[in-house]
Chain A
Amino acid sequence: MTDAEELRNRTKELLAAHPPASTDRLDFLRARFDAGLAWVHYPEGLGGLGAPRSLQVVVDAELEAAGAPDNDPRRIGIGLGMAAPTILQYGTEEQKRRFLRPLWTGEEVWCQLFSEPGAGSDLAALGTRAVREDGGPSRSSEAESGGDWVVNGQKVWTSSAHVARWAILIARTDPDVAKHRGITYFVCDMTDPGVEVRPLRQITGEAEFNEVFLTDVRIPDARRLGAVGEGWKVAQTTLNNERVAIGGMRLPREGGMIGPISKTWRERPELRTHDLHQRLLKLWVESEVSRLTAERLRQQLVAGQPGPEGAGMKLAFARLNQEISGLEVELLGEEGLLYDDWTMRRPELVDFTGRDAGYRYLRSKGNSIEGGTSEVLLNIVAERVLGLPAEPRTDKDVAWKDLAR
């Protein structure tokens, strides 16, 4: 049993043994991981102490007060938020020991090779093929380990692919069974010569994301995560964590998209009209209420009573971001007709509330698409929270190779 007091003491010991002022950043992060203070709810030996997740704030507060470096979580969000929980749940001991430490310290950046041009909301229809080189088993009922896999296909909307060392990849290993059952989950080496990364320019002018072309990429069977044919189940862990990561941030009042427009409103009285005022106040109220709902969800989690509210957070987040940034462009009038810069760039960090109003307006269009479209999320709320009947399905009992495409 690890309580707050013990965590505080362990953190102080770490700080005493590795004073942040005189310790190399990476050395400090490695020492923190080895002390079990990286993510306290992870097991001992893998950066944690098996403590309640809610106690992480105790460690973080001590470290912040001591001026300790962090692992720049925004740069390695996919690794921390999606790859790590999946590796923890489905990885072999060897995989956990190999991957989690450099993932957490940021030495190795991760990306996610899931979406395809032909598989967006219907991710399970994906067509990237993984074939065993030796013609070995490709079904879960058959022998479990074998030779290398050879992967061919195309992935899209991959952020960080151009800086990533590793990718989590789902590929089709059996086209003769129904789509959900013929998928396997792998860790893909992004330095393999068969991996080609091309920037994907988006409506903002820049390229946050990439297309990834996979041509005869070799993946040793030891880098498979979970059983052959079980990849869809494994991917659920990844995707559930993605939605939490996108909608669940704790913010102060005016902390999100409503912040910049409120500031502009206060500083630029010449822009104000009655119509804009009414619309701004409505959105301000909705933003504040959305923030309270997120806070209530957090309080429920801390109290150990998670509610279904999380399913809706991303829906509200997307709609508010879009409406507020749209209003902001309108508020700016003549300036709203301008845009800061269309130059094609590859930003390392993405800030939905950054740059100018035009950028915010355009970037927020992605909020209702990435991590599950709003339409799919509404179905999920209706079916899983309200218990309404599921959509009629014509694809469940058809072999993947026979699906319409």
Chain B
Amino acid sequence: MSDLLYSEEEDALRAAVRDLLTDHCDAPGVIARTESDSPHHLALWKALTEGMGLAGLLVPEELDGQGATHREAAVVLEELGRAVAPVPYLTSAVVATEALLACGTDDLLRDLAAGTTIGALAVALNVAPGAAYRVVRQEDGLLHGELTGIADAAVADVLLVPADDGGLYAVDAGAATVTPQTSLDLTRPLATVTLDGAPGRLLGDAEPAVRRALRAGAGLLASEQFGLAEWTLTETVRYLKERKQFNRPVGGFQSIKHRLAQLWLEVVNTRAAARNAADALSNGEDVDVAVTVAQAYAAPVAVHAAEEAVQLHGGIGMTWEHPAHLYLKRAKADSIAYGTPGAHREALAALVDLQSP
């Protein structure tokens, strides 16, 4: 049975990340940044990576990484989720890193582990592990084509691009045209990647690398979703103890209490599912079931928590000024990222022999 708790080291890691985010990633700052030319918070990224070495958690020590596991990366993602932090951690330090680990690309792994280079897997954010994805055309070592829905590509230094010959290619971002797309989630923006004869360096077979990368992304996304849900629940409870209508705290009305208690149950369940997925990814046991269960469960809970936050905050929850919308947009986008709950349930059906009609 997996270890579903947090170790003392993991608790210490959480505390350090939370301190950093408290000081450098407050909600008004995130909201202001979403409408600037640079929605990503690269100073925070630098502190997380060059300062704390967190981009290298999944990279072995001999490649200058931390040689840690998915359990620690999951703790980082819980905290980043709590803050809806606009940093490319999931996309670069987890998904792109996993793709490079699958290909054994040591030099790029060193660069990504250091955080000085940001990587992005050029597969649309909505693609589930094992599902079909778009590829570009490879001709004489040069790549041609357009890929949409690439998360965090705007800040990527290197793009990992699948091509029609079955290969995964590293493309320098300077050789591609990256055009931001107006995205539902303002804190994990998407972009279009256009390649017009860009030189690519063959890393290895795309299919296994993409599958592994997306599986890790889906599994650890559950921890981000847990962080999002936990923050929205905690903040909503806090607000409803203070907010008074009809001469009573709004949180004292039974209809509200029951909704929040129900949400708490879902959040508690999400933590167990997310820890199970992180533990399975780190020890390689029962990974597919753990990841599909976690993603099928966590995605709707994060959306539910954010929707409840907007509703139960009343009018203020509907404003641009209040951060609830950041969580709603992230949670809704997360519920599509790396496969919808329905896609994960369908995958699960085959894994546990509950076949469709």
Contact = CB atoms under 8 A, between A and B. Distances in A.
Given A312-B265, A388-B240, A382 B258 contact: yes
Interface string B258-272: 101110110011111
A347 B179 CA distance: 70
Nearest to A280: B354
Contact of B264 (A269, A292, A305, A386): A386
Interface stretch (B1-9, B38-46, B53-61, B186-194): B1-9
Tell which of B237, B272, B273 has the most Cβ of chain A within 10 Å. B272
A262 B354 contact: yes
Interface of B: 1, 3-5, 237, 240-241, 248-249, 251-252, 254, 256-258, 260-262, 264-265, 268-273, 275-276, 293, 296-297, 342, 345-346, 348-349, 352-357
A383 to B, nearest CB: 7
B237 A295 contact: no
Contacts of A299: 3-5
A286 B354 contact: no
A295 B348 CA distance: 21
Contact of B273 (A280, A292, A303): A292
Interface in A265-302: 265-266, 269, 272-274, 277-278, 280-282, 284-286, 288-290, 292-293, 295-296, 299-300
A293 B356 contact: no
Contact of B293 (A269, A273, A289, A305): A289
Nearest to A309: B268
23 contacts: A265-B354, A266-B355, A272-B357, A277-B357, A281-B296, A281-B354, A284-B352, A285-B348, A286-B297, A288-B293, A289-B272, A289-B273, A292-B275, A296-B272, A312-B261, A375-B258, A379-B261, A386-B260, A388-B240, A388-B241, A388-B252, A388-B257, A392-B252
Given A316-B269, A382-B258, A382-B260, A295 B4 contact: yes
A156 B272 CA distance: 38
Interface residues of chain B: helix, strand, loop or mixed (majority): helix
B331 to A, nearest CB: 18
A198 B310 CA distance: 53
Interface of A: 262, 265-266, 269, 272-274, 277-278, 280-282, 284-286, 288-290, 292-293, 295-296, 299-300, 303, 305, 309, 312, 315-316, 375, 378-379, 381-383, 385-392
Contact of A378 (B237, B257, B346, B357): B257
A309 B271 CA distance: 11
A391 B254 contact: yes
Tell which of B237, B248, B261, B275 has the most Cβ of chain A within 10 Å. B261
Given A299-B4, A378-B261, A382-B258, 7 more contacts: A274-B357, A278-B345, A281-B354, A290-B269, A293-B268, A296-B4, A309-B268
A285 B293 contact: yes
Contacts of A303: 5
Contacts of A265: 354
Contacts of B261: 312, 378-379, 381-382, 385-386
Contact of A295 (B1, B264, B265, B271): B1
Contacts of B354: 262, 265-266, 277, 280-281, 284
A61 to B, nearest CB: 16
A305 B276 CA distance: 19
Contacts of A272: 355-357
A277 B349 contact: yes
Nearest to A272: B357
Contacts of A274: 356-357
A289 B271 CA distance: 9
Nearest to B263: A386
Nearest to A391: B254
A95 to B, nearest CB: 38
B330 to A, nearest CB: 21
